[in-house]
Structure 1
C-alpha cells in the first residue's frame, strides 16, 4: 500500500499559501480520482483504498512527522512506499523535483518526518515556489492571482506523477516527470 502525504498547515488563514502547496496537490489528486478525504484519525484526514492512502496532516507543518508515523505504523506501510509532497523555496517557481531520499533542505515539515521515521530515505515530490524576501512571510503568503493560475499547471502535473507512483516504480515516475515546467 502506498501512502501519499501532502504537507500544509490547517486552517482557512493558510489556504492557498505557498507553504500549503502539498495540500493543493492532494486536493487535485482526490478530485482526479473522484474521492474525498473523509477519514479522520491520527490528527489528520485521509482517503484509504485497497492500494493507497491520500492524506493531509492536520498538525502544523513542524509536527507532520507525528501524523506520518502514526498512520504508516497503524496501516503497516513500508517506509519505501511513502511519498511526501511539499513546497521548496530553492526550486524555481513551478518546477517539480521528485527524489528518492535526501535531507530536509531546511523544510520543517520534512525535517520532522525524517526525525520521526528515523531515515532520510523518504520519497518526496517538491514543488518549486521560488524565493522572495523574508522566508517566513513568503511561504506563509498567499499566491497572487497570476501566480496561482501559473501554479495550477504544476499542481496538475504533480498530481499525475503521484497517481503514476501508485502503480509504478519511483524510477519510472522520476524519469517521466522530473524537471517538468
Structure 2
C-alpha cells in the first residue's frame, strides 16, 4: 500500500495558493482514479483506492502545514507502511514555477511542513515530489508569498508541473521511483 500525501492548508481561503499545490495534486490523482478523498481520519481527509493494481491512501492533512507530521505519523503507525511507500507532494520555493524535482530522500530544506513530517516520523528516507512555486520577489514576505495565488502568467507552467507530478506518482508506483525520477525531473 502506498500513502500519498499532498501538503497544504485546509480552508477556502488557502485554495489555489502556492502552498497548496500538494492538495491540488491529490485532488487530480483522486479525480483521475475515481477515489473520494472525503473521510476525516488521522487528522486528515483521506481516501482509499487503487492506482493500477496497487492500493493507495490519498491524504490531505487538516492540521495546517506546520503540523503535517502529526497526521502522517498516525497514518504510518496504523498502516505500518515502508518508508519507500510514503510519497509526499509539496511546494518548493527553491524551484522555479513549473519545475518538478523528485528525490528518494533528503532534508526538509526551508519547508515547515516537511520539517514537521521528518521530525514526527523520525526519518527522512521517503520519496518526495517537489513542485516549484518560485521565491518571493522585491522583498515580499515569505509567508504572504506562499499563501498567495499564482499570477496569470504562471498558471500554464504550474498546471503542467502539477499534472507531471500526478504522472510521476503513477510511474513511481507502477515502475519504481528511479524510473519516475529519470522521466520527470525537469
- Structure 2 distance, partners of 1:117, 1:97, is 22
The answer on 1:90 being equivalent to 2:60 is no
1:3-42 to structure 2, matched below 5 A, reads 3-42=3-42
Match of 1:118 in 2: 122
SS state at 1:51 partner: strand
**Structure 2 unaligned residues grouped into runs of 5+:** none
CA deviation profile, 1:74-119 (whole Å, cap 9, x unmatched): 1111122101000000111110000011110110000000001111
Contact 1:98 1:123 survives alignment (8 Å): yes
Q: Which runs of 5+ in 1 are unaligned?
A: none
1:107-146 CA distance string (max 9 Å, x none): 0000000001111212100000011232111101111233
Q: Partner of 1:134 in structure 2? A: 141
What are the superposed Cα offsets for residues 47-79 of structure 1, whole Å, 9 maximum, x if unpaired? 113611111001110100011111111111112
Q: CA RMSD in A?
A: 1.2
Q: Distance in 2 between matches of 1:51 and 1:165?
A: 13
Aligned residues: 179
Q: Is the 8 A contact 1:37 1:46 kept in 2?
A: yes
Retained in 1: the 8 A contact 2:36–2:48? no
Residue of structure 1 aligned with 2:65, choices 39, 61, 68: 61
CA apart distance, 1:168: 2.3
TM superposition outliers: structure 1 runs of 4+ over 4 Å:
none
Counterpart position of 1:70:
74
Distance in 1 (alpha carbons) for counterparts of 2:175 and 2:48: 18
Question: Which residue, 160, 166, 169 being the options, matches 1:159?
Answer: 166
